[in-house]
Chain A
Amino acid sequence: MTAAFALPLFWLMVAGYAIASAGLVMPTRRLVRMAVAIGSVAGGAGGLALACLVLWTDASLTIEAPAVLAAAGGWLVHLDRLGALFLALVSGVAIPVGLYAIAYMRSYEGRYSTRWMAFTFGAFLLSMSLVTVAANAVTFLLCWELMAVSSFFLVVTEHDRQASVDAGLWYLAMTHAGLLALMAAFFLLGSGSADGSGATFAALRSSAGLLPSETRAAIFLLALLGCGSKAGMVPFHVWLPRAHPAAPSHVSALMSAVMVKLGIYGLLRIGLDLLGGGPAWWGTLLIILGAASALTGVLYALVADDLKELLAYSTVENVGLVLLGVGAGFLFLSLGQPEAAMLALSAALLHLINHAAFKGALFLSAGSIVHATGTRDINLLGGLITRMPWTATTLLAGSMSIAALPPLNGFVSEWLLFQSFLPGVASSRASIAGLLTLGVGALALTGGLAAATFVKAFGVTCLAIPRSPGAAHAHESPGPMLAGMALLAAACPLLALATIPTLTTITGALAGVAGLPSIAPALHVGVTLRTPTGMATMSPVAVAMVLVAVVAGTWIVLRLIARRPVHVGDTWGCGRIGQSPRMEYTSTAFAEPLRRVFDQLYRPVDDTAVGVVRPESPYYIESMTYQTTIHPWFQRVLYEPVVQGVERVATWTRALQSGSVNAYVGYIVFVLVILLAWVIGF
C-alpha cells in the first residue's frame, strides 16, 4: 500500500524540478525566483519522500520506456536502496538551496540572465536525481552527461569574468574525459553478455562474474578515472578548485555537497554492485589515492586566501576521507572479512552524508558573506560576527563540524572511520597492517590540519576588526538566505544525535550488495555506537549531553560564586595609541608556520619589490611590496606538460590549415586515392 506512493512521488519530484526549469519562461524576475524556489523545494520534498519510502519499507520503483533510445537499450529507471541513499542526499540538499536561491538570485539579476540560470538549475537537480535512479548504462550515461552540461552552464554564469570562463573550460574538458572513460567501462562491462542490448544493471551484474580478470581490472580503472574525476580525487581534482569558487554559491553548495558524491556513487555502483568487488589491489589503490586526496586537499586549503577556494580544496580533502573508507571496504571484502567491510563502507557513507550537511552550510554562508561584502578574499574580511551574526553562527557550526569537533557530526563519522581501520591494522599480513597504519596516520594528520584551516577560515573572516570597507559596511543577508543556511547548519548537531538511525539506514542500503552480509550487523547498542570487530564503543548522544552539561554547569557555578564586574577596554597592545586592522593577523600570516613546515611541497614563489623611494636617498624606502604565490603541485607537474603538449601538437597541425584551396583539394584527392586503394585491395 505504501508502495503505491512511489510512482506519484517520483513524478512529483520530476514535476518540481521541471517547474524550477520553467523559470525560463516566467514573465517577471520575481516569478523566476519563485519558480526556482518552489520547484526545488517541491522536487526535493518529493525525492526525499520517495527515497525514505524505498529505504525504510520494501517499496521499490521501476519505470521502463524501451521505445526511447531503443537502439542503445531503452530508458530504464529502477530505484534500489543504494540509489535511494544518494537520492535522499540530492533531495535533502535541494530544499535549503532552493530557499536560499529566492533571495540570492537577486544579486545576479540585471547583469546575467536569471532565466537561463533557473533553467539550467532545474535541469541540474533533475539530472542528479535521475543518475541515482538510472538502471541501465544508457540512462546512467545520459543523465551523467546532462548533469555535467547543466552544471557547466551554471559555472560560467559570470561569463564576463575570465576566471569563470577558464574554470568552465577546465571543468568541461575533464568531465568529458571522464565520460569517455565511463563509456569505455560500460562497453567493456557489456561485452561479457551475449547481446549488446542487455545493458541493464541487472544483466550486467550477472554477466560481470564471467568476465576475465584483466577486463574487470580495466573496467575498475576506467570507472575510477571517470567517477574519481567527478568526485575530485587526486590527481584528477584540478577542475574543482577552479569551478566551485567561480560558480554562484548555491550552485557551489550543490556541487560540493552532492555532485561530487555522485562520483562516489558511480564508483560504488560499478565497482561494488556490478563487479562485486575485486582483488586486494583495488582497495589498496583506493586507499592510497584517498590518502593523497585528503592530504593534498587539506594542505592547499590551509594556504588558500580565497574563501570559496578554501572550501573547494576542503571538499577534495573530505572526498579523500570517504575514499579511504571505501578503499578499506573493498580491501576487507577481498580479504574475506565482510563485517569489517560493512563497517568501513558505512563509515564512508556516513561521512559522505555528514559532509553534505556541513559543506552545504559552509558554502551557503560563504555566499552570504561574498554577497554582503563583495569580496572572496579572507584577507579583506573580518569583524563579521557583529555585522552578520546569523551567517557567522552558521559558518561556525559548519567549521566546527568539518574540524571533527565533538559534539557535532564530523566527529562521529571521523571516529567511525578510525575504528573501521583498526581490524586491518590488527591483520596478520604485514603489508595490510602497514598500509592501514599509514592510513590512520594520514587520517589523523588531515583532521588536525583541517582544524587549523577552519580556525583560520572562521577566525580571520568573522572575528576581530574588519580589514576593508566592504567588510565594515556588511549587513546581514535577507531571510530566505538565512533560512537555507540555518536548515543545513541545524542538520549538523541533529545528524550527530541521530547517528544511530542514519547508520542503520546506511547498513540497510548496503546489505546484500556484493559480498556484504545481507542482514546488516547492529553497529549500536541502544544509543552507543559499537563496532562489531573492534569492541570500541562511543555514544555521540552521551558525549554531547555531558559536554553541554559540564560547560553550562561551569557557567552557572561561576555566575553564582564569582560574579565580578566586567569592564570594556581597549585590546592590550603594549600601550600603543590606537588599533588599526593592519595590526591584526591575516589569513596568509596565520598559515605561514605550516606553510614553512611543508614548503618542499608548496614551493612558494616569493617576490619582494621596492615600491616608493624617497628622492633624498635610494636607501630611504617608503613602501615595499611582498607577493607570494603558490602554484599547485599537480597543476605544475602533471597538467601543464599535458596542456603544453596539446598546444604544441595543435600548433603543428595548424600547418595543415594553410588557407590555400589548392592544398585542400589536394588533401581530398589524397585521401580518396588511399581509400580507393584500400577498398580495391580488400
Chain B
Amino acid sequence: MFNTLGVVVEIAQALLALAVAPLLVGLIRWVKARLQNRRGAPVWQPYAELRKLFGKDTIVSSNASWIFRAAPFVVFGSTVVVALLVPVFVTPLPFNQVADLFALVYLLLLGTFALALGGLDPGSAFGGMGASREMTIASLSEPAIALAMLSLALGAGSTNLGEIAARTIAHPTDALSPGHILAFAALFIVMLAETGRLPVDNPATHLELTMIHEAMVLEYSGPALALVEWASWLKLTVFLTLAANLFVPWGLATSLAAGAIAMAVAATVAKLVVLAIGLAVFETRVAKLRLFRVPELLAVSFVLGLLAVTSSFSLR
C-alpha cells in the first residue's frame, strides 16, 4: 500500500493524533478536577498553554550546550514518528512495513535518552536527579514491554502493528483470551511508568524530590518547553491508542474508503475518551508510590507479561 493516498492518510493520521493529544490531556485533567470536587479548567486549556508558550521568550543556561537546545526537537520528532507508526484510524498503512513494535519501543527510548541528556546539560542537581530516575524507570520497564509485545506478536505471527490489529479483528474471541488480558494489564502498568502518571510519577507535583519526568524539564522555557510538553502528551495519546487499537481494534478502517475512515475516527475517539476517563478515575484512586517501590511494580508487570506469553503458549 505504498501509494500516495496511503502516505497522505498516514501523515494526516499522525497530525490528527498530534492535534488531539492536548484535548485528551485536557479531558483527563478536567475529570480529575471534577473528582476533586472543583470546576477545573476547560477541556481545551492545554491548547491555550501551548499557544502561550509559543509566544514566550526563551532563557538558556550559560552552562548548557547544543544538546540542551536540540533535545526538545529530538524528543518531539521521535514521538511524532511513533505516531506515524501506530494504527490510529487505518491499518495497514505504508509505514507499517518499515517499522514494528520493537522499533516503536526504541524510538520512545531515543526520546527519553535525549531528554535525560538535556536534563544533565545545565548542570543543576534537579536535572541530574530527574535524568537518573527517568533512566532507572525506563530501563526497568523494558523487559515488561518486550514480553507484553511478545505475547501479542505470538498470536499474530508478526511484530508489525498492522498484522497484530488485523489478527485480532479476524479472531474476535482472542480479545478475551487470558494472554490478551494479561498483556493488556502488563502494558497498562508500563504505560503508567513510561508516561509519568500516578502511581509512578505525579505530573502536577511541585516538590522536586517527588519528581521524575518534571525534574528533567525544569530548565526549559518558551517554544522548547511547548515541544517537550506536547511530546509527552503525544506519548500518552500513543500509548492509549495502542491500548485501544491493539486490544480492541474493531472500528479500525481496513481500507481507504471515506465511510470506513469516518467510522474509524468516531470509534477511536470514543475508545480514547473511555480510556482517558478510566485513567483519570484510576489516578484519583491510587496514591503515588515511593520511588523504590516502583521497581517492584515493574517486576509485577514483567511477571504479568511472562504469564501472558506462557498462557498464549499453553492455549495453542
Contacts and interface: CB of A to CB of B under 8 A. Distances in A.
Given A422-B153, A444-B146, A572-B218, A405 B223 contact: no
Given A464-B123, A573-B124, A458 B158 contact: no
Contact of A546 (B95, B143, B227): B95
B132 interface: yes
B143 A445 contact: yes
Interface string B54-96: 1111111111111100000110111011001000000000010
A440 B147 contact: yes
A458 B67 CA distance: 11
B227 A558 contact: yes
Contact of A564 (B55, B120, B219, B302): B55
Interface in A437-479: 437, 440-445, 447-449, 451-452, 455-456, 458-460, 463-465
B47 interface: no
A570 B145 contact: no
Interface stretch (A32-40, A114-122, A593-601): A593-601
A441 B135 contact: no
A590 B306 CA distance: 30
Nearest to A434: B310
Interface string B110-148: 101100110011111101110111011011111101110
B40 interface: no
Contact of B102 (A418, A555, A594): A418
Interface stretch (A199-207, A500-508, A535-543): A535-543
A406 interface: yes
Contacts of B143: 441-442, 444-445, 448
Contact of A445 (B63, B142, B219): B142
A558 B113 contact: no
Contacts of A662: none
B309 interface: yes
B307 to A, nearest CB: 11
A460 B158 CA distance: 39
A671 B131 CA distance: 70
B289 interface: no
A567 B230 CA distance: 23
A547 interface: yes
B132 A415 contact: no
**Interface magnitude class on chain A:** 35 or more
A629 interface: no
A589 B313 CA distance: 42
B106 A411 contact: yes
Contacts of A551: 73-74, 76-78
A680 interface: no
A94 to B, nearest CB: 31
A367 B21 CA distance: 46
A641 B55 CA distance: 67
Given A403-B113, A441-B146, A571-B219, A415 B102 contact: yes
A592 B65 contact: no
A537 B136 contact: no
Interface string A623-639: 00000000000000000
B280 interface: no
A463 B65 contact: yes
A571 B138 contact: no
B67 A463 contact: yes
Given A465-B63, A584-B125, A547 B73 contact: no
Nearest to B163: A535
Given A444-B142, A449-B139, A594-B136, A538 B123 contact: no
A440 B140 CA distance: 14
Contacts of A643: none
Interface string B224-248: 0001000000000000000000000
B222 interface: yes
B168 interface: no
A564 B56 CA distance: 7
Given A406-B107, A543-B99, A551-B77, A593 B125 contact: no
Nearest to B231: A554
Contact of B138 (A386, A451, A562): A451
Nearest to B226: A562
Interface in B21-71: 54-67
A539 to B, nearest CB: 4
B61 A537 contact: no
A528 B142 contact: no
Interface stretch (A11-19, A335-343, A425-433): A425-433
B258 interface: no
A404 interface: yes
A585 interface: yes
A405 B157 contact: no
A448 B103 contact: no
Contacts of B64: 571
B191 to A, nearest CB: 16
A565 B57 contact: yes
B150 A425 contact: yes
Nearest to B83: A550
B123 A437 contact: no
Contact of B132 (A425, A581, A585): A585
A536 B99 contact: no
A386 B66 CA distance: 9
Most buried by B among A433, A539, A583, A593: A593
Contact of A567 (B58, B120, B291): B58
A537 B97 contact: yes
B295 interface: yes
A233 to B, nearest CB: 22
Contacts of A592: 132
B32 to A, nearest CB: 28
Nearest to B110: A405
A547 B110 CA distance: 11
A463 B103 contact: no
A319 interface: no
B132 A570 contact: no
Contacts of A583: 123-125
Interface in B255-314: 291-292, 295, 302, 306, 309-310, 313-314
A571 B62 contact: yes
A464 B57 contact: no
Nearest to B298: A597
B136 A593 contact: yes
A585 to B, nearest CB: 2
A534 interface: yes
Given A455-B116, A572-B218, A589-B132, A567 B146 contact: no
A536 B158 contact: yes
Contact of B60 (A418, A568, A581): A568
Q: Which 8 A-B pairs have the closest CB atoms?
A: A585-B128, A448-B139, A464-B123, A448-B142, A551-B77, A444-B146, A452-B135, A459-B120
15 contacts: A403-B109, A405-B106, A418-B102, A434-B310, A441-B306, A447-B109, A449-B139, A455-B131, A542-B98, A568-B60, A579-B124, A584-B124, A585-B127, A590-B132, A594-B136
Interface of A: 382-383, 385-386, 400, 403-406, 411, 414-415, 418-419, 422, 425-426, 428, 430, 433-434, 437, 440-445, 447-449, 451-452, 455-456, 458-460, 463-465, 528, 534-539, 542-543, 546-547, 550-551, 553-555, 558, 561-562, 564-573, 579, 581, 583-585, 589-594, 596-597
Given A440-B147, A463-B120, A566-B57, 9 more contacts: A405-B110, A422-B153, A452-B136, A463-B121, A534-B157, A534-B158, A554-B227, A584-B125, A585-B128
